[in-house]
Amino acid sequence: MKTFTRRETIGLLGAAAGAFVVRPAYAALPKLAKKDTYKVGFAQTESNNPWRLAQTKSMQDEATKRGWQLVYTDAAGSAAKQVADVRSMIAQKVDVILLAPREEKPLIPAVMEAKKAGIPMFLIDRNVDQTLAKGGEDYVAFIGSDFTKEGMQAAEVLTAAVGGKAKIIELQGSTGSSPANDRMAGFAAYIKDHPGMEIIASQSGDFARDKGRQVFETLYQAHPEATALYSHNDEMTMGAIAAMEAAGKVPGKDLIIASIDGTKDATQALIDGKVLVVVECNPKFGPAAFDAVVKYGNGETLEPRLVNTDRVFTKDNAAAYMPEAY
Ligand code: GYE
């Protein structure tokens, strides 16, 4: 029989206790009564790209499937409107709120007001500033991707393909949003150890196709020596590809492209050799979000971060993925 050292024994007891002890802040979160169907508020950020539309559809499909009522709002790209949208959901006394916070800081009041009103909230796909509000304390949990890892994976594939040498233009997502912050940080952390990988210009294209096109055009005119593009989402990538082609350049040859999401257009661009890599960010949140609500209503203790697993798409697996693309 194995005998345990004192340190091991303390560790084992701690782990066993940890499995059963519910943290006090978690216990103080608004409760959700166990019901057969719920009235769920879903506060979307905007509807200007295929990722958003796929996410909304996934939520609506899941609500229909379960016979739940979905109260849907679209903030149309305005964090201020999104705060107002959450307030109206609180006034309508929804059972639970699913919020995709457009930016990290401006949505903090919405999180705190839901908590104060006794309505449990889940953050889906984007996060808020973790120094101002926390999962398992101010909201129940965050459900979404590991954006830092996405940025690192994009950097890893790009670095290998260009032999560790590139002059990179970066198109950032919406300023102040968690995916933009973390995708920037993850990419930077990876290339830090590869001195030949140099970001020569970096600016926000607001996660939008036409903005991405305009910003890329301006940056590329100022930096014609660029050899690569790192774009925080596929819509901006498609905009940048249009700008490259308008300038007589060949995407995939003159500029090597790394992108994130997994839209149909970007998947086709992988197949066509225009894009090197698309790191997946899955928008189909309905099943995971609604399952989490059910578990919370059943009194289960949820982890503060429920992280989706994302795949990496290249020319090799793009065609196989295409039927799932949106
Ligand atoms: O990559 C982008 C969308 O928040 C993870 O937002 C999401 C990002 C996604 O507009 O296309």
Contact 284, 54 (CB under 8 A): yes
Residue 103 clears pLDDT 80, i.e. is over it? yes
pLDDT 10s digits, 180-216: 999 999 999 999 999 999 999 999 999 999 999 999 9
pLDDT 10s digits, 287-305: 999 999 999 999 999 999 9
Name which of 215, 107, 122, 110 is nearest 170 in CA terms: 215
- What pLDDT does 221 receive? 98
- What pLDDT does 324 receive? 97
pLDDT 10s digits, 29-39: 999 999 999 99
Residue 83 clears pLDDT 90, i.e. is over it? yes
Whether ligand 1 lies within 6 angstroms of the CB of 102 is answered as: no
Cα 190 to averaged position of ligand 1 atoms, centre (Å): 21
Cα 151 to averaged position of ligand 1 atoms, centre (Å): 13
Q: How far apart are CA 143 and CA 139, in angstroms?
A: 11
Sign of CA dihedral 181, 183, 188, 190: positive
Residue 122 clears pLDDT 50, i.e. is over it? yes
Whether ligand 1 lies within 6 angstroms of the CB of 159 is answered as: no
Residue 3 clears pLDDT 80, i.e. is over it? no
42-47: average pLDDT: 98
Band of pLDDT at residue 135, cut at 50, 70 and 90: very high
Name which of 116, 173, 178, 192 is nearest 142 in CA terms: 178
- What pLDDT does 235 receive? 98
**Mutation test of ligand 1: which of 211, 261, 263, 307 has the most ligand atoms closer than 8 Å to its C-beta?**
261
261 CA closest ligand 1 atom index: 1
49 CA closest ligand 1 atom index: 10
- What pLDDT does 20 receive? 52
Per the listing, tokens 């197949």 go with 271
Q: How far apart are CA 160 and CA 33, in angstroms?
A: 51
- Report which residue type is found at 50: P
Which domains occur in the chain, in start order?
6-145+283-310 (3.40.50.2300), 147-281 (3.40.50.2300)
Q: How many CA atoms lie within 13 A of 260 on its CB side?
A: 32
Cα 270 to averaged position of ligand 1 atoms, centre (Å): 19
Cα 207 to averaged position of ligand 1 atoms, centre (Å): 7
Q: How far apart are CA 196 and CA 235, in angstroms?
A: 27
Q: How far apart are CA 317 and CA 322, in angstroms?
A: 9
CA dihedral 111, 115, 121, 125 (to 10 degrees): 20
Whether ligand 1 lies within 6 angstroms of the CB of 126 is answered as: yes
Residue 61 clears pLDDT 70, i.e. is over it? yes
Angle between helices 108-116 and 79-91 in degrees, nearest 10? 10
Whether ligand 1 lies within 6 angstroms of the CB of 125 is answered as: yes
Whether ligand 1 lies within 6 angstroms of the CB of 207 is answered as: yes
260 CA closest ligand 1 atom index: 1
Q: Which two tokens stand for residue 311?
A: 């795949």
Name which of 96, 36, 104, 109 is nearest 70 in CA terms: 96
46 CA closest ligand 1 atom index: 10
Cα 68 to averaged position of ligand 1 atoms, centre (Å): 26
Band of pLDDT at residue 1, cut at 50, 70 and 90: very low
Per the listing, tokens 């590139």 go with 166
**Mutation test of ligand 1: which of 147, 279, 281 has the most ligand atoms closer than 8 Å to its C-beta?**
281
Per the listing, tokens 């257009």 go with 265
Q: What is the mean pLDDT of the chain?
A: 94
- What pLDDT does 50 receive? 97
Contact 180, 281 (CB under 8 A): no
302-309: average pLDDT: 94
Q: Which two tokens stand for residue 130?
A: 């973790």
Q: How far apart are CA 294 and CA 38, in angstroms?
A: 9
Q: Which residue would you say has higher pLDDT here, 5 or 254?
A: 254
65-82: average pLDDT: 98
Band of pLDDT at residue 265, cut at 50, 70 and 90: very high
Percent of the chain topping pLDDT 70: 94
Q: Is 125 left (phi over 0), alpha (psi -120 to 50) or beta?
A: left
Residue 77 clears pLDDT 70, i.e. is over it? yes
Per the listing, tokens 């050292």 go with 5
Residue 23 clears pLDDT 90, i.e. is over it? no
- What pLDDT does 18 receive? 47
47-64: average pLDDT: 97
Q: How far apart are CA 47 and CA 61, in angstroms?
A: 17
Band of pLDDT at residue 22, cut at 50, 70 and 90: confident
